[in-house]
Amino acid sequence: MKKLGKVLVVTQHYPPDSSTTAAYLAAIAEGLAANDTVVVLSGSRSSAPQRSANPNSLEVIEIPNWSAPKDDLVRRAIAISLFALRMFFATLTRASRNDVVFCVTTPFTLPYAVVLAAKLRGAATALLIYDLYPEALEASGLIKPRSLTARLFRLVNGALFRALDAIITIGRDVKPLLLAYKGVGHEKIHFIPNWTLLPIGYREPAPGNRFRVGRDSQLIVGLSGNLGFTHSPRTIFEAARLLRDDKDVHLLLSGWGMGWKELGDLQATERLANVTLLERVSQDDLIEFLSAADVWIIPYRRNIAGVSIPSRMYNLMAVGRAIIVAAEPHAEASLVVNEDAIGWAVPPEDPVLLANAIRLAAADRAATLKMGRRAATTAEKYSQDIALARYREVILNAGHGPHPPDETRRRNLR
C-alpha cells in the first residue's frame, strides 16, 4: 500500500461563500484534515484567510476567479472556462504522485481540467458529482440528446469517468447514468448522501412566526431556494392558479435564480391572491422561514433523475416538515419521500397532480404534521459524521489503491 501524500481539494465555492456547495466542501476538507494533510484550491474571494479547526494540516489557497452575471451566458461561459484553466495550472503545480486530487462538478468545466492535471502528475483522483452534463442541459431543453454538443460531452465524459479512481454521487439515481458509459464499473461509484446543514428537530407551527402572520388557519405551502434550469417554476404557478378558490391554502415563495424571475413575471401578470412572493431570506432567518410552512415543494422538470441534487430536501426534513416532490419515482428525492413516508411524490410538470397533493395535505392537517415529525426523525439518518467517515474512506482508498503506469494513464485520458 502506497503512503498517502496530501489531499488536494479543488472547488470554486468555499467559505465565506454562503452557498450550500461551499458549506459541504468546507466540511469535507475539515473532515479529511483531521487525519491527513489537506490543501484547498478555492475560487472564492477572501477564502484563504479562513481559520481551520485543523490549522496544521489544512491550507487554503485562493485562485483568482472572475464571476460573470448568471443571465449573461456568453460571459459566464468565458468565466468558467478561464477558471478551469487557472485550476489546471494550480493543480499541475501542486499535485504529486502520492496525492489524491478531489474536485466537484461545479462549474461543469472544472473536472476535465483538474483531472487532466492530476493524471499528468501521477496523482489519484476522486470526483463528487453534483450536476451531470449533458443530461442536465437535455432535461432543461437547452440541447437535444442527439446534438453535436451532447455527443461531444459524452465523448469527453467517457474519458473522464474511466480515468477517475473514485466517483462519488449524492443520489442513487446517478449510478445508472454513469454505468451507461463504456468502461465505467460499479466498483468506482460510491453513494454518499448529503446531510442537514441545520439543527435537527421538529418545530411546532408557531402562531407568532412572522412569515405566516394572519394565516395560521391556512395550510402554508412553501417554496425556497435556487430555481435553476432543472426546476419548473411554471408548474408551481399553474398549481397555485388551480388552488386560487381553496381558501384554506396559501403559497409562500422565496428564492433566487432564473426560475425565480419567471415566477415573479407570472405573478406580476396574474396577481394571484393565494401567492406571496418574498425576497431571498437570509441565513439568519432560514430556520424561522422553513418552520413557517406546513409543507414544502421541490418542483423538478421532467427527466432530471440523476442530474440534479436534492440538497435542500435535508434542511426541510431537519425542521420537521412534510415534502411534496415533483419528480420521477426513481429520482433520489422521490425515493427518500416514499421510503420514509414523509410526504408525496408526484410526476414532474403536472400542476393538476401537484394541486391535488396540496389538497390532500390540507384535508388532513394532522396527518401532514405527523409526516413532518417523521421527517425530522428521518433526518437523523443523514448525519455529517457518517458522511464524512465515508468521504475519508473513499478518498483515502483512492489514494492507496494501485495506480497504472504512466503510459497506461496517458492512454486513459485519450
pLDDT at residue number 405 = 39
- pTM more than 0.85: yes
The secondary structure element, H or E, covering residue 191 is: strand 189-191
DSSP 8-state symbol, 366: H
Residues 139, 145, 149, 155, Cα dihedral to 10°: 110
Q: What is each CA distance from 400 to 3, 31, 276, in whole angstroms?
A: 7, 18, 54
Q: Which of 127-141, 196-210, 368-382 has the highest mean pLDDT?
A: 368-382
For residue 53, what pLDDT band results from cuts at 50, 70 and 90?
Answer: low
Cell of 135: 443530461
pLDDT digits (tens, 9 = 90+) for 169-218: 999 999 999 999 999 999 999 999 999 999 999 998 877 899 987 888 89
Q: Give the gyration radius of the chain's Cα atoms.
A: 22
222 forms bridges with which residues in the sheet? Answer: 252, 296
Q: Is the pLDDT of residue 38 over 70?
A: yes
Beta strands 189-191 and 58-62 are: unpaired
- Percent of the chain surpassing pLDDT 70: 93
Determine the distance from the C-alpha atom of residue 76 to the mean position of all C-alpha atoms in its chain, rounded to a whole number: 20
Residues 116, 120, 121, 127, Cα dihedral to 10°: 20
The mean per-residue pLDDT over the stretch 100-122 comes to: 96
What average pLDDT does the chain have? 90
Q: Cβ distance 31 to 3 under 8 Å? A: no
Query: In this structure, which amino acid lies at residue 244?
Result: R
Distance CA 322, CA 295 (A): 5
Q: Cβ distance 313 to 142 under 8 Å? A: no
Query: Could you count the other beta carbons within 10 Å of the beta carbon of residue 130?
Result: 23
Cell of 325: 416532490
Sign of CA dihedral 259, 261, 264, 270: negative
For residue 137, what pLDDT band results from cuts at 50, 70 and 90?
Answer: confident
Q: Cβ distance 196 to 314 under 8 Å? A: yes
- Percent of the chain surpassing pLDDT 90: 71
The mean per-residue pLDDT over the stretch 225-247 comes to: 92
pLDDT at residue number 74 = 75
Determine the distance from the C-alpha atom of residue 339 to the mean position of all C-alpha atoms in its chain, rounded to a whole number: 20
pLDDT digits (tens, 9 = 90+) for 389-411: 999 999 989 987 644 433 443 34
Domains defined for the chain, CATH in brackets: 6-195+383-413 (3.40.50.2000), 210-379 (3.40.50.2000)
Q: Cβ distance 262 to 286 under 8 Å? A: no
Determine the angle formed by the axes of helices 73-94 and 110-120, rounding to 10 degrees.
Answer: 20
pLDDT at residue number 212 = 86
Distance CA 244, CA 251 (A): 10
For residue 291, what pLDDT band results from cuts at 50, 70 and 90?
Answer: very high
pLDDT at residue number 236 = 95
Beta strands 249-256 and 219-226 are: parallel
Closest by alpha carbon to 127, among 146, 147, 148, 108? 108
Burial code (b: 16+ CB inside 10 Å, e: under 16) for 213-231 equals eebeebbbbbbbbbbbbbb
Distance CA 161, CA 290 (A): 38
Q: Is the pLDDT of residue 350 over 50?
A: yes
Query: In this structure, which amino acid lies at residue 14?
Result: Y
pLDDT digits (tens, 9 = 90+) for 57-93: 899 999 998 876 666 667 888 889 999 999 999 999 9
Closest by alpha carbon to 412, among 189, 148, 115? 115
Q: Cβ distance 301 to 139 under 8 Å? A: yes
The secondary structure element, H or E, covering residue 343 is: strand 343-346
